[in-house]
Amino acid sequence: MFADKAIDFYYSYLRYSPLIKWIHNMTASIDFQTLAVNGVLGLHPYQPGKPIEELERELGVSDTLKLASNENPLGASSQALIALQDPLQTLHLYPDGSGFALKNKLATTLTLEPEQITLGNGSNDVLDLIARCFLDNTSNAIFSQHAFAVYHIVTQATGAESRVATAYSADHPSAYGHDLEAMLNLIDAQTRIIFIANPNNPTGTWLKAAELESFLQRVPPETIVVIDEAYFEYVSEEKYPDTTKWLERFHNLIVTRTFSKIYGLAALRVGYCVSHAEIADLLNRVRQPFNVNSLALAAATAALDDREQVVMSSEINRDGLAQWEKACADHDWNYIPSIGNFICVNVGPDAMDVYDALLHKGIIVRPVANYELPHHLRITIGKKEQNQRCIEALEQILND
């Protein structure tokens, strides 16, 4: 009681006395950690690939080769670049918040209804919308060990529990891949979302249509399954599914895709998901009104017509993966077989030193210790000469 009175008095005094107020401001040290919502304190910021400018500033190197963020070595879709001219005339206007033209184009391309599509500021934004829609501090989300880092971030930020299913071990035929049985075993009444990356980043491992389909049949219909297909357009494996075709059968399915990878529009930030229209309606309620800007909308809409970009990029990628696989075989380097535009190479226990040595040669790749892969480096597939440069650098470093 007395304490309450004293505090009341202090605050009323504080309001009227400039001197007391000044003393208060000088001495008060607020512990902001105690103010943050629950999930946030358990988070670590996402670690992006090192920017080229940063390396050149720090080490004074030039001619830097960045193979760290699964960016397209061919650059952006040329049709997208042309389409960027128009919206430059109207930068003072808000973008079309409904993304009408892009959604319609996507709907035609995917033979779906526009009402089933949600656009995001990159597909990471879509993943965040999904988490905010379906998770809170009473629920949980499941994903695999070694899975894309954003699933944990968006889950944890809502206060929900992240349940990590142990992946297949290094000696399993699907080494490091998602173990769907282990994921099913983690489901309980509080499980709202299961995140699956197909193929997964950083491992490059993937799930075949048959196994993914029987998994979906066994997941309770109240649990949402998010299949992240950021690398969909790169994949030509016969047994790799186009899960957008399954939406009619599985109403709890959400498929996410992006313009950041094969279309080369990573800087513009545009991705999307397709789902049951009722899910899209919910996502639309938490979405920021203008989450996709007008440059991104125009570029993405045009990119969808750019067959050449898709064909050329996947061809270069296929050749580059083969080049890396051969180099690994020749040098006895272990690697995780990948169908993405990147490959995880086992460079041994000193992976961080190898990473540093590559930096000194002007090559940026990605350490993946934070994915529980401390011996691997994830290397983006580049053009032939770029791959060659990285292979030769690695050869020198590992032979030293």
Ligand X SMILES: *Cc1c(COP(=O)(O)O)cnc(C)c1O
Query: Where on the chain is the footprint of ligand X (CB under 6 A)?
Result: 70, 122-124, 148, 197, 201, 228, 230, 258, 260-261, 266, 271
Distance of CA 202 to CAs 104, 289, 374, Å?
32, 32, 12
Please, which residue, 357 or 377, has the CB nearer to ligand X? 377
Q: Do 294 and 87 touch, CB atoms closer than 8 A?
A: yes
Rounded distance, CA 245 to CA 213, Å?
11
Amino acid at 379: I
Q: Of 292, 257, 258, which is closest to residue 121 (Cα–Cα)?
A: 292
* Shortest spacing between CB 223 and ligand X, in angstroms: 20
Please, which residue, 139 or 258, has the CB nearer to ligand X? 258
* Shortest spacing between CB 376 and ligand X, in angstroms: 15
Please, which residue, 340 or 362, has the CB nearer to ligand X? 340
* Shortest spacing between CB 207 and ligand X, in angstroms: 13
Please, which residue, 124 or 244, has the CB nearer to ligand X? 124
Closest CB to ligand X: residue number: 122
Residue 194: phi and psi, rounded to 5, are -120, 125
Please, which residue, 143 or 250, has the CB nearer to ligand X? 143
Strand (E) or helix (H) holding 182: helix 180-185
Please, which residue, 231 or 397, has the CB nearer to ligand X? 231
Please, which residue, 197 or 393, has the CB nearer to ligand X? 197
Residue 367: phi and psi, rounded to 5, are -70, 145
Residue 92: phi and psi, rounded to 5, are -80, -10
* Shortest spacing between CB 253 and ligand X, in angstroms: 16
Find the length of the chain.
400
Rounded distance, CA 193 to CA 222, Å?
9
Count of C-beta atoms within a 10 Å radius of residue 351: 20
* Shortest spacing between CB 180 and ligand X, in angstroms: 17
Amino acid at 238: E
Rounded distance, CA 210 to CA 212, Å?
6
Rounded distance, CA 268 to CA 348, Å?
36
Rg over CA atoms, the chain: 24
Please, which residue, 125 or 397, has the CB nearer to ligand X? 125
* Shortest spacing between CB 278 and ligand X, in angstroms: 24
Beta bridge partners of 120: 271
* Shortest spacing between CB 148 and ligand X, in angstroms: 4
* Shortest spacing between CB 265 and ligand X, in angstroms: 9
Say which residues have a Cβ less than 8 Å from residue 347's Cβ, sequence separation at least 6: 333, 354, 375, 376, 377, 394, 398
